[in-house]
Amino acid sequence: MINKLMLIALVAVGLSSCAQENGAKMEFNKLTFEEQNVILHKGTERPYTGEYVNHKEDGTYTCKQCDAPLYLSGDKFDSNCGWPSFDDEIEGAVKRVPDADGRRTEIVCANCGGHLGHVFEGEGFTDKNTRHCVNSISLNFEPEKKASSDKTEKAIFAGGCFWGVEYYMEKHKGVISATSGYTGGHVKNPSYQDVLSKKSGHIEAVEIEYDPNITSYEEVAKLFFEIHDPTQVDRQGPDIGEQYRSEVFYLNEGQKQTAEKLVNILKDKGYKVATRISKADTFWKAENYHQDYYDNKGSLPYCHGYTKRF
């Protein structure tokens, strides 16, 4: 039988983890009148007028309302029907429901329920014999990230739960990758439980790799200060604990000077900045299930959001 002390410990661990998003209200992107007509009221845009009908770029098509990944460019094909066509979807991303007309099958975003279009089978366009006929206005597009040169640079930031920091950093122009992990402690190759126990000394952090020909360390660092609250001490929103503190880990003297400059700018603006600036130590990549957490789950960060501060 679990005694009272063990039960209290289990509850405490659960409350301090990143998974506090359960029960949080999902926030959607604002839609124009035309977008509402299609996505919310199941309308249809006129054929051959959509942005993505003849779109050929490599990348991922996402939901206009909630940003959930829906389709990969490799599954897009030209059906000459007037709307973007796909013969497959990202697993679990699209839900099929009977259409109100009693004949067709409607497709909606499995994450938010937004109307996408209709799915048809047996037409023989591709080997998969399936055509997702989707309204362009229901979609956004995330191009495949490619480095413009062989030279890349790195940066390490900690600003609360690494899921949210990674999510926003990956969307910044010029960022090639954002990896969730642990740093700042004394335990080699720490696990999530090691960090959660607060005995390893490590905190949740994100390692950024970016193309300096597209963006700069200062731009990436500014984004860091604008996607979390740098005034909070040993917490970020509902996540409480030293492992969620705000900290910049500099890799060279230039990064240190830039971080100090940005902190001073914020202080001059009246912010009581709690962000630490420390020399980088070994960065340990977190478990695979922590990587691209929100993109894989098809949801949005619950304790991070953008606030312009510079």
Q: Tell me the three state secondary structure of residue 224.
A: helix
- DSSP structure class, residue 138: G
Q: Which of 18, 66, 161, 303 is catalytic?
A: 161
- Give which of 95, 98, 96, 78 is closest to 87, Cα–Cα: 78
In the annotation, is 161 catalytic?
A: yes
Q: For residue 293, how many other CB atoms are within 10 A of its CB? A: 21
Are 71 and 119 contacting, i.e. CB atoms less than 8 angstroms apart? Answer: no
Taking each helix axis from N to C end, the angle separating 217-226 and 253-268, rounded to the nearest 10 degrees, works out to: 40
Dihedral of CA atoms 236, 217, 145, 66 in degrees, nearest 10, equals 30
Helix (H, G, I), strand (E, B) or coil at 153: strand
Q: Is 133 a catalytic residue?
A: yes
E strand spans, 24-86: 59-63, 69-72, 76-77, 85-86
Catalytic residue among 63, 66, 109, 133: 133
Q: Element (H or E) spanning 260, and its range?
A: helix 253-268
Residues carrying an active site annotation: 133, 161
